[in-house]
Structure 1
Amino acid sequence: MNLELSAVWTRVQNLVQSFLVTIPNILIGLLVFGIFLLIARIARNAVTSLSQRAGQSKGISLVFSRIVSWLVLAVGVLVALTVIFPTLTAASLFGALGVSGVAIGFAFKDIFQNLLAGILILVTRPFRIGDQIVSGDHEGVVEDIQVRATLLRTYDNRRVVIPNSELYTNRVTVNTAYPQRRLSVTVGIGYGDDIAAARKLILDTLNGLDGLLKDPAPNVLVRELGDFSVNLDVRFWIDPPIRKEAVEAQDSVLEAIKNVLPAAGFDLPFPTQQVLFHDQTETTDGNRQEQREGWPARQDNPRSRQGVQREAQQNQEQTQPSPEQARPQPEARQP
């Protein structure tokens, strides 16, 4: 029992002595890492300053300054480890990193993909911070382009985090890419209304509204002949092309058109449909020998109401007596 306690005590003493011997190395390693922290901050500020002088966007300077800072910190960690553990050489450390690099690459494949996509987005600049974009089901203002994802603020004040790889590989609509934007609304008038007069009235109304550009000028085109109305496509331009301006412009245009067209006698028809049974229309309707409409042919076709009414009228005319027959005959005189 005494031998076992002495062995344990000897082991504890050796561990304490090893730790005391390692304390200077730990302090030096922490000091070295602190120096690299300072170098990383200086390098980050230098990259930001150079990017601003080169006229690059804020997003590019932010991402590249972060990448440079992380690289400097990674080198600082390696140097600090070699100082704390003298037996750990740089060759063995890089060898271990090389062996585990494949596993790390597979584990963080999505992260590296988003990192590369974020760098490409910042370099090619399909959109910038502050632009209003549409990506899939999401629409809003780009708040930040980070290394892994892009932060989008929706118009109802929610944040959407979209991976950079998704933005780089999928379709993205940038609403604020150009200084001007064209909007359009659809207005339906009656088939009996004068299209040229309605077009002139709408254009005169749009020219008197604030917030719409005079150049390019608004225009009105006939879009389609609908089921119950002639649909006009009213097009106009706004500047700046932000969401707030677009919503307000559409509101003012629709309100003005709604007020002027009925006041000038133009019809804004409601959706209407007319449903007729086959026995309420022409005689041939419902006759599957003459009007198929995708039905199988048959011999016992239902008779139309017109046909039944016409036949009843003919029978009535045949059964009615003629005027000569309807005139009362004189009674024969008695001798």
Structure 2
Amino acid sequence: MSTEISAVWNKIQDMANDFIILLPNIVLAIIVFSIFFFIARTLKRLVRRLTRDRRQAHNLGLVLGRLAQGAMILVGLFIALSIVIPSLKASDLVQLLGISGVAIGFAFRDILQNFLAGILILLTEPFQIDDQIVFKNFEGTVEQIQTRATTIRTYDGRRIVIPNSELFTNSVIVNTAFDHRRLEYDIGIGYGDDIDTARRLILEAMNEIDGVLASPAADALVVELAGSAVNIRARWWVQPPRRADVLDLQDRVLTNIKNKLLANGIDLPFPTQQILFHDQTEATDGDRHQQREGWPAGKGEVPQPRRIGHTLGQLAQNRDRPQVTPATNSHSPSPTTQTDR
């Protein structure tokens, strides 16, 4: 028993002696790590100060500052460990970090993908905070661009969180990327109306509205000869291209165009349909050269149109007529009755 206690005591003394020997290295490592920690905090503040003039300075400076701080602290930790354990080489630490990084990368692949996409979005700035964007079926104003996801506020007061990897790898429409935005709307006029007159009235109606820019100028182009109307596309430019301003200006422009066209006798037709009834009881049914309803008359005399009431009257008369039984032939054999024998 005393031998075991003596061995334990000797082990404790050896550990204490090793600690006393390493104590100067530990103190030096703590001092070095503290210096690097202080440098990391200073570097974080410097990065945030350099990005202060940018519109996304809050998010961009915060992310880049944290990355710089983390990298500097990691370097300080490597140096401190090398001081405490001289046998530990930097290459061993890098190798260990690489193996750990691969394992962490496989385990948190989606999180790291969104993180890297968020960094690239903050650096390249395809859109910025307070921009109005359209992504797939979502449309709204960008509220925040974080390292994992971007949040947008829809026009009906809902918040949508979109992963950054989705935004970075798919198409995004930025409605407020430029100062000017063009709006357009198709207006149908009748085939009997004069196109030049209608075009002039549409341009006058657009230019009379406050908010429609004179440069670039508005225009009106014929884009389609539709089934019941001639479609003229009215196009005008607005500034700024915010959603509320766009809707208000479009309401005033379209209202003024409608009132001006109607006041000057321009027709605004709606879709019409012509139905041709074909009398299938006629002897000419199926003969395109004789049949009139729905088919070209061809050569010769054109059959006169028939009304449904007239046709129905003839059908009723034919139904009310007595049925005539055809006379029997005198030479035909008379029916015989068979009896069982």
Normalising by structure 1, report the TM-score: 0.67
% of aligned pairs identical?
51
**Which shows bigger deviation, 32-41 or 68-77?**
32-41
In terms of fraction of residues, the more helix-rich structure is: 1
2:55–2:129 Cα contact (<8 Å) kept: no
2:213–2:237 Cα contact (<8 Å) kept: yes
User: 1:34 and 1:275, CA in 2 relative to 1: closer, same or farther beyond 3 A?
Assistant: farther
User: 1:278 and 1:39, CA in 2 relative to 1: closer, same or farther beyond 3 A?
Assistant: farther
Deviation at 1:71, TM superposition (A): 3.1
User: 1:87 and 1:158, CA in 2 relative to 1: closer, same or farther beyond 3 A?
Assistant: farther
Pair 1:156-2:160 in alignment: no
**Which shows bigger deviation, 151-160 or 71-80?**
71-80
Alignment of 1:281-296 (within 5 A): 287=286
Whichever residue aligns with residue 262 of structure 1, its letter is: L
Give the corresponding residue for 1:222: 222
**Which shows bigger deviation, 166-175 or 35-44?**
35-44
Deviation at 1:249, TM superposition (A): 1.4
Q: Distance in 2 between matches of 1:283 and 1:221?
A: 51
User: 1:197 and 1:32, CA in 2 relative to 1: closer, same or farther beyond 3 A?
Assistant: same
Give the corresponding residue for 2:167: 167
Give the corresponding residue for 1:134: 134
Give the corresponding residue for 2:101: 101
Deviation at 1:57, TM superposition (A): 5.1
Normalising by structure 2, report the TM-score: 0.66
User: 1:204 and 1:276, CA in 2 relative to 1: closer, same or farther beyond 3 A?
Assistant: same
Q: Distance in 1 between matches of 2:257 and 2:263?
A: 10
Q: For residues 38-91 of structure 1, what are the alpha-carbon distances to aligned partners after superposition, in whole Å with 9 as ceiling and x for unaligned?
A: 5543321111123347x6852533321122233345567778999999999988
| Root mean square deviation of aligned Cα | 4.3
Q: Distance in 1 between matches of 2:86 and 2:283?
A: 105
User: 1:87 and 1:51, CA in 2 relative to 1: closer, same or farther beyond 3 A?
Assistant: same
- Unmatched tracts of structure 1, length 5 or more: 1-9, 292-303, 314-335
Q: Distance in 2 between matches of 1:65 and 1:267?
A: 64
Whichever residue aligns with residue 50 of structure 2, its letter is: L
**Which shows bigger deviation, 178-187 or 41-50?**
41-50
User: 1:306 and 1:83, CA in 2 relative to 1: closer, same or farther beyond 3 A?
Assistant: farther
Alignment of 1:250-289 (within 5 A): 250-279=250-279, 287=286
Q: For residues 181-228 of structure 1, what are the alpha-carbon distances to aligned partners after superposition, in whole Å with 9 as ceiling and x for unaligned?
A: 110012112222221111111111211110000111111111212222
Whichever residue aligns with residue 206 of structure 2, its letter is: L
1:191–1:229 Cα contact (<8 Å) kept: yes
Q: Distance in 1 between matches of 2:83 and 2:287?
A: 97
Give the corresponding residue for 1:111: 111
Q: For residues 125-169 of structure 1, what are the alpha-carbon distances to aligned partners after superposition, in whole Å with 9 as ceiling and x for unaligned?
A: 222222222111111222222212222222222222222221121
- Unmatched tracts of structure 2, length 5 or more: 1-7, 292-303, 315-341
1:279–1:305 Cα contact (<8 Å) kept: no
Q: For residues 101-131 of structure 1, what are the alpha-carbon distances to aligned partners after superposition, in whole Å with 9 as ceiling and x for unaligned?
A: 3221111112222222222223322222222
Deviation at 1:32, TM superposition (A): 9.2
User: Partner of 2:279: helix, strand, or coil?
Assistant: helix
Give the corresponding residue for 2:147: 147
Give the corresponding residue for 1:65: 65
Whichever residue aligns with residue 242 of structure 1, its letter is: R
Q: How many residues align?
A: 284
Whichever residue aligns with residue 232 of structure 1, its letter is: I
User: 1:152 and 1:32, CA in 2 relative to 1: closer, same or farther beyond 3 A?
Assistant: farther
